[in-house]
Homo-oligomer: A and B are copies of this chain.
Amino acid sequence: MHALIVHCHPEPASFNAVLTAVAKTTLRERGFSVDISDLYREGFDPCERPEHYPNRKNRDVFSPLGEQRHAFETNSLPEDVRREIARLEGADLVVFQFPIWWHSQPAILKGWFDRVFVNGGLYTSTMRYDRGYFRGRTALCSITTGAPEVAFGRDSRAGDIERILWSTHFSLHYMGFHVLPPFVAFGIQGHGYAYADEDSNNRRLIRYRETWMERLKGLDRNTPLTFPVWDDWDEDGRAKPVSTPSP
């Protein structure tokens, strides 16, 4: 079994880095080989742009999806994208480790989705969702938040985690992954302000490390999140009426 950790934080001493180190060790102890994409360290460019495609299909108008497909078909994808795809190819499990910034993933990780999940290569109009390229593989987001746990929830001040991660999760579902419920470390400090005193903060960090370790040991027992699949849609993509309407 092989795992890829897509790690996304600019500070090597961040708590995100601690969680990635915990995942690497714990997964290796469980018999996984582990590879890490450290997006900041590797200087990953998150911007999809013409400069990535010297061998253009259309030199007049830059269509990101058209050029992705063409580059895939002509074996001229950008080197960093080829590297990320190679890392993904072997991975039974992909862990995304990132802080929540502005109610979603940091730009560098968003751009990893924009550039690495190549149109015409890793997905097509028929190779998506439960027929996706990565069907049978598993993905898991491990996130940190600045706000404390109490502030999260539907209509609460920090929003709810399900909405915050919906775009990321649905994109992984689109690619065929089984998406496990996220691991969330709330109220992570180092942001220039503090919700708690240092001791209680340290205790919380230690507890999150342990919870993350236990979570990784028990991944086999996790039930993936549920998303609609091809059988739920008519041929135009509309949700079919449910047979037993809710009251």
Taking Cβ atoms with an 8 Å cutoff, the residues of A that contact B are 10-11, 13-14, 40, 46-50, 60-70, 101-108, 110-111, 113-114, 117, 119-120, 125, 129, 146-148, 150-151, 153-159, 163-164, 166-167, 170-171, 174, 190-193, 228, 232-233, 236-239
Contact A62 B11 (CB under 8 A): yes
Nearest-Cβ distance from residue A241 to partner chain B, whole angstroms = 10
Known contacts A10-B49, A158-B237, A228-B156; is-contact A110 B119 (Cβ 8 Å): no
Contact A192 B120 (CB under 8 A): yes
Contact B233 A46 (CB under 8 A): no
Name the contact of A125 in the complex, choosing from B49, B106, B113, B193 (C-beta under 8 A): B193
Could you say which residues of chain B place their CB within 8 Å of the CB of A70? 192
Known contacts A190-B63, A233-B156; is-contact A114 B106 (Cβ 8 Å): yes
Nearest-Cβ distance from residue A50 to partner chain B, whole angstroms = 6
Contact B238 A65 (CB under 8 A): no
In the bound complex, how far is the Cα of B237 from the Cα of A52, in angstroms? 44
In the bound complex, how far is the Cα of B151 from the Cα of A160, in angstroms? 25
Residue from A103, A125, A147, A193 with most neighbouring chain B CB atoms (10 Å): A103
Could you say which residues of chain B place their CB within 8 Å of the CB of A46? 46-47, 107-108, 111
Contact B233 A157 (CB under 8 A): yes
In the bound complex, how far is the Cα of B148 from the Cα of A238, in angstroms? 11
Could you say which residues of chain B place their CB within 8 Å of the CB of A63? 11, 190-192
A-B CB contact pairs (8 Å), 26 listed: A10-B48, A10-B49, A10-B64, A11-B61, A40-B47, A46-B107, A48-B106, A63-B191, A63-B192, A64-B191, A65-B146, A68-B192, A69-B192, A102-B113, A102-B114, A102-B171, A104-B167, A106-B110, A107-B107, A107-B110, A107-B111, A150-B237, A153-B238, A154-B239, A156-B228, A163-B163
Contact A151 B236 (CB under 8 A): yes
In the bound complex, how far is the Cα of B67 from the Cα of A129, in angstroms? 40
